[in-house]
Structure 1
C-alpha cells in the first residue's frame, strides 16, 4: 500500500512520500513539502473539475477556510491510478462540527451564506446549468409514482411497501405538485439564468461531517467533490432540513438561520418561494420508492421498509418548514 501511495505522490504530484496516517476521510501524508491528505473522491470527473474551479474562486474572493485541491504535474485537479481517481488536498481540522445543538446550525448557516457569496464571478467550463432541471425532475417523479401505483393496483397483491406507498400516495403526490408550482412561481428558470451569469454553485453535502472547526472555533468546509451547477438555495434547503432532523427545530431557529444566511447572501421574495418548493418536495421518499421499484424484487426488504417509513416522517418536517417560511414572508 505504501508503494502505491509513494507512486501516486511522486508520479502525480512530484512529492516524496515519507509515511502517512490513515483517517476516516483518507490518508494524511508526510511529504517533502509538508502535510497533504490523499483522498478517493466520490464525485465524477466533471464534478471534480467544477470543484477545483469553485475552490479557486472562493479563495480569490476571501473565503479561505477550505481544503485546496493541488494540481497534478499534468495540471489536472485529480490523479488517476489503476482506474481510480485521487485528489490531494490541504489537511483539514480533525474535529467535525457537532450537530446536537441548534447554535451550531446558526453558525453553519452564516458560513454557508459567506461561502455562497464568495462564489461571485465563478465561471467554469465544467458548469452545466439547466433552468428546467428541478421542475422537470419533480414532474418526472410524480409520473413515476403514478405509474407505480397503477401497476400495483393492477397486480392486486400488496406487500408491506406497497401498503406504505398507498398510505402516503395522495399526500406526497400533492406535495410534489405543489413543489413544482412553487419553483415556477418563484421564477426558478430566471434564477438559474442569473446564478449562471453571476457565478454560483451548490455544495450538495453541506452538513456536520463536511464542516470542521479548529481550536479557535473557526469553521472550515470540505467535501466539495459532489458540487454541481444548481441554485445555492438547494444547500440552504438541505441544511434547514438537517436542522430539524438533528435538533428540536423551532420556528425561531429557522428564522435565525435565514437571517444569518441572508446577512451575507440576501434572499429575495422569489428565492423564499423557490426555497419553500425545495422544502415541501418529498425528495428522499420518492427517491427511495423509485430505487425500490426499479429493482427486481424477490422479497420485501425490512431495511428498505424501515428506510421508507423513516423518510416519510422526515418529509412531514419539510412541510412544516415550508409553512414556517411561508408564515414569515
Structure 2
C-alpha cells in the first residue's frame, strides 16, 4: 500500500515519502518537507476547489487556525490518481475538543463566530447558492409527513417504526408548520441574498473530530471538504442542537453560547427569527423517516428503529431550545 502513497506524493506534489501513520481522517505522512496529512476526498472536484477558496479567504482575513490544502504541481488543491481524488493538508493538532462541558461549547461558539466573520468577502467561481432551498425543503417534508401518515393508516397493521411515527406525528407536524411560519417571517430569500452579497459560507460539520485543541489552548477547525454556499446560521443552530444533545442544556448555557458567537459576528433581527425557525424544525427525524419509507424493506431494520428513536429523543429538546432562544434574545 505504501507504494501508492509514494506515487501520489511524488507525482502530485514532488515530495518524497518516508513513512506514514494512519489516523481516523487519513494518513499522516513523513516527507522530505515535513509532516503532511493525505486524505482520500469523498467530495467532487469542484467541492474541493470551493473548500480551498473558503480556506484561503479565512486565512487572508486572519482566521489561521485551519489546515490549508497544499496545491499539487499542476496548481490544483488536489491530485487525481487512478480516478480517485486526494488532498494534502497541513497537520492539525491531534487532540479533539471534548464536547461534554458547557465551557467547551462556549469556546467553540466564539471560534465559530470568528470563522463566519472572517469568511466575509469570500469570492469563488465554485459557489452554488439557492435562495429557495429551505422553504422548498420545509414544505416538501411537511407534505411527505402527511403522506406517510395516510400510508400507515391505509395498510392496517403497524410495525415499530409506524407506531413511532404515529406517536410523534402531531408534534412534528406542528413544529414543521411553526418553522415554515418563522422562515417566512424572517424573509429567508432576502437573508440568502445578503449572505451571497457579503460572501460567506456554511461549514456543515462544525463538531467532533473537526474541532481540535492545540498545545497553545487554541481551537483549530478542520473538515472543510463538505462546506457549502449557504447561510452561516445553519452551523450555529446545528451547534446549539449538539449542545442540547451532549449536555444538560440550559437557558444560561444557550445565552452564553449566543453571546460568545455574537462577540465576533452579531446577529440581525431577521437572523434571530431564522435561528428560531431552524431550531424548532425536526430536520433529523423527518429526513430519517423519509429515507425509511422511500426504501422500505420487508422487515423493520433494528438499526433504523434505533436511529429514529434516538432522533426522536433529540427532537424532544428542540422545543426547549426554541424557548431558551426566545427568552434570551431581546
TM-score norm. by structure 1 comes to 0.98
2:309 corresponds in structure 1 to 309
Aligned residue for 2:226, secondary structure, equals: coil
RMSD: 1.1
1:113 equivalent in structure 2: 113
Gaps of 5+ in 2: none
SS in 1 for 2:225: coil
- Matched with 2:85 is 85
| C-alpha distance in 1 between matches for 2:267 and 2:230 | 16
In the alignment, what sits opposite 2:284? 284
2:48 counterpart of 1:17: no
Deviations 1:145-195 (A, max 9, x none): 111111221122211111111111111011111112211211211111011
Mapped partners of 1:154, 1:25: distance in 2:
46
Work out the number of aligned pairs and report it: 329
**C-alpha displacement of 1:80:** 1.8
Please give the alpha-carbon distance, in whole angstroms, between the structure 2 residues aligned to 1:255 and 1:307: 29
TM-score, normalization by structure 2 = 0.97
Cα deviation, residue 296, structure 1: 3.4
Cα distance in 1 for residues equivalent to 2:41 and 2:219: 21
Deviations 1:236-293 (A, max 9, x none): 0000011111111110010000001011000111111101111101011011101111
Following superposition, the deviation at residue 127 of structure 1 comes to: 0.7
Aligned to 2:227: 227
The question of 1:247 aligning with 2:247 is answered yes
CA drift at 1:138:
0.8
* Structure 2: distance between partners of 1:145 and 1:4: 48
Instruction: Say whether 1:7 aligns with 2:7.
Output: yes
Whole-angstrom distance in 1 between the partners of 2:167 and 2:44:
37
Deviations 1:119-163 (A, max 9, x none): 010011111111110111111111111111112211222111111
Q: Distance in 2 between matches of 1:52 and 1:210?
A: 16
Q: Tell me, yes or no, if structure 1 residue 41 matches structure 2 residue 41.
A: yes
> Is 2:200–2:229's contact at 8 Å kept on the other side of the alignment?
yes
SS across alignment from 1:96: coil
Q: Which structure 1 residue ranges, 4+ long, deviate > 6 Å from structure 2?
A: none
CA–CA separation in structure 2 for the residues paired with 1:78 and 1:298: 43
CA distance in 1, matches of 2:180, 2:79: 40
- Aligned: 1:58 with 2:53: no
Moved more, 167-176 or 37-46: 37-46
| Equivalent residue runs for 1:1-329 within 5 Å | 1-329=1-329
Deviation at 1:310, TM superposition (A): 1.1
User: Alignment partner of 1:212: what SS?
Assistant: strand
Secondary structure at the counterpart of residue 87 of structure 1: strand
